[in-house]
Structure 1
Amino acid sequence: MKGIVKLLFLCCTTAILMLCSSCEESLPPISDTFSEQIRLNQIGYYPAAIKKAVIVDGPETQKFMVVDSVAMNVLLTGTLSSAEDWKLAGETVRIADFTKLTTPGTYLLLVPDLGYSYPFKIKKNVLHEAFLGSIKGLYYQRVGIPLKKEHAGKWHRDIAHLDDSIPFHPSTGKTSGYISSPGGWYDAGDYNKYIVNAAFPLGQFYLLQEQYPELVSDNMLNIPESGNGRSDYLDELKYEMDWALTMQDGDGGLFHKLTTKNFEGMVMPSAATSQRYIVGKGTTATLDFAACAAQAYRVFKTVDSAYAEKCLTAAKKAYDWAMENPAVAFTNPEDVHTGQYGDADFEDEWFWANAELLVATQDSVYRNNIKKKAIDFNFKAGESWTAYMRFLGMFTLLDNKEAISEPFYNSIKNGIIASADRLVTSAQELDYFQPIDDFHWGSNSDVLNAAMVMAQAYRLKGSPKYLIGVQQAMDYILGNNAMGVSYLTGFGDKTPMFIHHRQSAADGLEDPVPGLLSGGPNSRLQDVAGGAVYPENPVPMQSWVDQEPSYASNEICLNWNAPMTYVLGFLEHESD
């Protein structure tokens, strides 16, 4: 029935436009059916931003119109670009450029013979709600407290996983005993907690707070701490930091994860009752923790000096353990089959920890230990939590140039600018103007991590090309992509409905938990054996399915929400 309605709608649209393409009265009425062949940012654009929609396999007409969805009059008429074949997307496309339209309002893009696009806005602070939503998504991942209806709405749930008496797995080097390790966030679609993937996202969240500290004030997120006189953003980050602090052993090293031996089924947290363990200890987790704890010291020192000092003490202690244990790689024990987050190359972690501790303490020990030669400035898709933290260290040093020598500062500055230039150039040549051409697990986070590099170049030089690069990366995430999907749950007209996320699968609600970023296209298709069903031989940018079994393309994860929040916050501050 829905297909028949759409067909009738498109036929009427075509007929009316052919009869009177020049008069506003010819505009077809808005229905609840919008063209899937018109791809654009489903939330909207800043007035001064580049505004481009992608028209896929469109009709012969060369015209497009931007229509005020309230007054139903045409604000702009334009000509589509010549057809191009896009290999990564597997599509023949033309571009509708409506950058000239800067008047605030709510609009639809109309292409004869295709119909209307999803509605979108043009206005200042157009991404403000999505920005706050990406942070509130973290609240829904909280462990060890009930999510009350007054804060969680229809996604409220019972308390689960108190984690107040967790036994040590033998991989920790301990043969008996328990620790209390409550709180924190569930890492991804599962119910486990991992230090590597707590510290790395916290590093990105803290960077935003240091660079733009006024973005989130008290009472903006409706979380239990709202009204305490402190930024809701800091309150949410502290909930995760508090847990990370519990995972430090008495000798300073960090246990790798708190986990069941196998992933739980697709059940609510309160029904996931398998025994949980403290598993492993290693250099990667310890250095990542040292880095983010040093950032926590700087972020909290003006609002909670005692807590800040606690974080700094823990950071130094972790660093000292790593100095004595510089290459302890973690791998899953034979009886543990949850996320490994393993990494045997520690150079990036050392760089990040030295940079953050140097800026926090000004201690020459950390300055002398920073690797100054052969820094890799090339962004690589897929490196994420294994290597991207070197960029976090560089971003911090760029913001604190007094901590390092001028030649070293200049080398980092020039390296980041050169990396951003390569990303900007690639984005303008690639399908959908996104800066990557290789699609791994969490490819959406790769797009956003690349955007963070461009954002730092913009902060350094103020060149519009970098801001445009970041804006178009966000356009990609929010709907201007080969799937025509806004990948942030709950934000946009066509969003993921069946994310690989246990609560969303088990809570009996139609809508998934909002504010969580789907991983995005993944050409590796690792989840086919687990029940995900893809089109036959999908091209890279269409290797995504909105299916709950698709952990390879449709899972959510802390280290994907983190760059999403950073880039949204950056754009809200820097865009006109």
Structure 2
Amino acid sequence: MIRLAALSFVFALAVSSAALADETPRQIRLNQTGFEAQGPKRAILADPSKTPLDWTLHDAAGVAIVKGKTRVFGDDAASGEHVHQIDLSAFRKAGDGYRLKVGAAESRPFAIRAKPDGRLTRAAMSFFYQQRASVPIEAKYVERPDLARPAGHAPDKATCFDQADERGQVWPGCDYTLDASKGWYDAGDHGKYVVNGGITVWTLVNAWERATLLNRPGALAALGDGALALPEAGNGVPDLLDEVRFQLDFLLAMQVPEAKTLQVPVGNQRPGNGKLALSAINASGMAHQKLADRYWTALPTAPADDKQVRYLYYPTTGATLNLAAVAAQAARVWKTIDPAFSTKCLEAARRAFAAAQRHPDIYAIGPFTGSGGYGDGDLTDEFYWAAAELYATTGEATYESALRASPLFLASPTEGTRPTGDIGWNGVGALGTMTLALVPNGLKPAEIAQARANLVASAGRYLSDDVSQGYALPYAAPGYPWGSNSSILNRAVVLGLAHDLTGEIAYRYGAVDAMDYVLGRNPLDQSYVSGFGARPMRHPHHRFWAKQANPAYPAPPSGVLSGGPNSTNMSDTVASAMKGKCRPQTCWTDDYRAFTQNEVAINWNAPLVWVSAFLDDTAR
């Protein structure tokens, strides 16, 4: 209880500090939570000058202690600004109240710390506890009393969708009901999705697996038993794994029972306004795509107040492979922690992979108003990822054969016969290569070396992007996609692994740049993480953390990541008014109605946890 009380105090401190901070946007942009003493320290100045400008660093007493000249980057397409870069990295004295000045422009006071304090990692992990379904969220585990709430969807039992969809197509349903209680609400709605749950589970468990395999005592302690504010703390199991198991229980429950025949659309059908052709299949071992409401609930709606009928939506190959991948990963991680659970996971993974091989082309095809689609027309990456996880866990020839047959074998986001592309819920190929590069397995040493080299080469490409951007972040794109902050942080995961594999500090610095951008070094002078920084995100698109929509509901807890700028899908009412009027990094508004820009999601917070824990662990 002492540990939990201390954690709650730290969270409260984060919120109160942010509330008292100067929220006026500044011309000098930097990480609003401060810098590491021995790490990189960069700030960005938006200024039209074509020549370098003088800058000075002042201590808390106002004394100028360091001076230098800005580096003129020039016009920056992503922000639409003419920018200067300021590098303070050579200054390494820890302290509070530093200010950076360039002419009349002045930064807010900022701190330099010997090492990160771990607050962000703990807060980002608390997000998952507060997204739990089927159990009450208790006040003693959260930072403010108003964040406590009754259990929603307890129990969460449903049968297959058997109504007419938006095309008028009547679905036949099924003859069973599944109790798929537990799990995390996926985002700002009350749906629970197997596809997005997969990459989220993998990312969190990989953070633990990395710490274990590389023998990182700091990371093990930060994510271990008693480190987080959870009901399970003190049970002898690492807290991160306790949290993930809550989601795994839901994922395992979404598997179709044996000897069940279902009517599903086979093949990548594109019916337009027409209807899908349904075929009867042996669906045993497959995973339902999602468990969700028939219609969207209003904003705000607490989970316990959700009165919509919930359904299981038809099983898909993508969901089935997500289950196979993370169940196989869990089987090896829990092998000594809970052998019975490990066995259960491996059996589920085997069944799922076999089912996906029987039915390789059952895609998520909407529409079903009331839940997200997570449709994916290319499952090559899911097959490769699942085979990699099963091979790493079992070493069996059947999974090795599937690996070697894949065009993605040993590929990384930018390298290989067929590069995987950036990591995302619909781009999971790199996860398979990351597992093969990190987890001991039976591949030839030269093949493991190639997997590692490909990942390091991708990290190098990301560093090249970093140099090309005015705001110095490892991401270059003509447009910023939905959930761009997670795209940037997933690149930081690859950079972090490259640092682990090579020891090269430049890769870690690239991960720092990604985090600096998310925490305020961006053209909006905005921290996209609630409760952190002078100008934190405050009004997410969320059914419960919805104080902007209704003062009776709470503001978000600390540690919640906004999806971030989105210049490629501007379909909500707030974003649509900005269309054609904003540069990619500025297409964002802190508004609960802006679901394309300011929703939150489990797969976005997961890389925030990974990168934050990595930076805490590797600080000098």
1:491 aligns with 2:546: no
State the Cα distance separating 1:182 from its structure 2 match: 0.6
The corresponding residue for 1:78 is 68
- Higher normalized helix content (fraction of residues): 1
1:341 aligns with 2:341: no
Q: 1:96 to 1:279 in 2, by over 3 A?
A: same
The corresponding residue for 2:154 is 162
State the Cα distance separating 1:295 from its structure 2 match: 1.0
Q: Match of 1:431, SS?
A: coil
d(CA) in 1 for partners of 2:368 and 2:402?
37
| Cα offsets for 1:361-383 (capped at 9, x unmatched) | 11111111104664353358776
1:557 aligns with 2:601: yes
d(CA) in 1 for partners of 2:303 and 2:336?
36
The corresponding residue for 1:223 is 230
| Cα offsets for 1:8-40 (capped at 9, x unmatched) | xxxxxxxxxxxxxxxxxxxxxx99466511110
Amino acid at match of 2:413: N
d(CA) in 2 for partners of 1:57 and 1:207?
42
d(CA) in 1 for partners of 2:24 and 2:320?
50
Superposed, 1:186-335 pairs within 5 Å as: 186-213=185-212, 214=220, 215-250=222-257, 251-266=284-299, 267-332=301-366, 334-335=367-368
Amino acid at match of 1:77: K
Amino acid at match of 1:161: H
The equivalent position to 1:361 in structure 2, one of 375, 378, 394, is 394
| Cα offsets for 1:483-511 (capped at 9, x unmatched) | 11111111111111111111111563563
**Identity over aligned pairs, percent:** 31
- Normalising by structure 1, we get a TM-score of 0.89
Amino acid at match of 2:385: W
Q: Match of 2:99, SS?
A: strand
Partners of 1:381 and 1:446 within 8 A in 2: no
| Cα offsets for 1:91-124 (capped at 9, x unmatched) | 1221221111111222433325545423333224
Partners of 1:42 and 1:119 within 8 A in 2: no
d(CA) in 1 for partners of 2:504 and 2:371?
44
Q: 1:97 to 1:546 in 2, by over 3 A?
A: same
Structure 2: state its 5+ residue gaps: 1-19, 163-169, 213-219, 258-283, 415-419
State the Cα distance separating 1:414 from its structure 2 match: 2.3
The corresponding residue for 1:512 is 556
The corresponding residue for 1:352 is 385
d(CA) in 2 for partners of 1:157 and 1:31?
29
Amino acid at match of 2:488: V
Q: Match of 2:596, SS?
A: helix
Amino acid at match of 2:502: K
| Cα offsets for 1:385-434 (capped at 9, x unmatched) | 111x1111111100135421233223322221221111111111113112
Partners of 1:532 and 1:547 within 8 A in 2: no
d(CA) in 2 for partners of 1:311 and 1:373?
24
The equivalent position to 2:567 in structure 1, one of 516, 523, 533, is 523
Q: 1:422 to 1:371 in 2, by over 3 A?
A: same
d(CA) in 2 for partners of 1:391 and 1:84?
34
The corresponding residue for 1:396 is 435
The corresponding residue for 1:20 is none
Q: Match of 1:385, SS?
A: coil
The corresponding residue for 1:111 is 101
- Normalising by structure 2, we get a TM-score of 0.83
The corresponding residue for 1:460 is 501
d(CA) in 2 for partners of 1:31 and 1:340?
40
Partners of 2:55 and 2:103 within 8 A in 1: no
The corresponding residue for 2:260 is none
d(CA) in 2 for partners of 1:450 and 1:273?
39
d(CA) in 2 for partners of 1:281 and 1:172?
13
| Cα offsets for 1:412-471 (capped at 9, x unmatched) | 222212211111111111131122223100001110111112222222211222111111
The corresponding residue for 1:478 is 519
| Cα offsets for 1:528-572 (capped at 9, x unmatched) | 446764386101110111111111111101111111111111111
| Cα offsets for 1:214-256 (capped at 9, x unmatched) | 1312222211112223222111111111111111111211011
Structure 1: state its 5+ residue gaps: 1-29
d(CA) in 2 for partners of 1:109 and 1:85?
25
d(CA) in 1 for partners of 2:443 and 2:47?
53
1:66 aligns with 2:57: yes
Amino acid at match of 2:433: M
| Cα offsets for 1:172-206 (capped at 9, x unmatched) | 86434322111111100111100001111101111
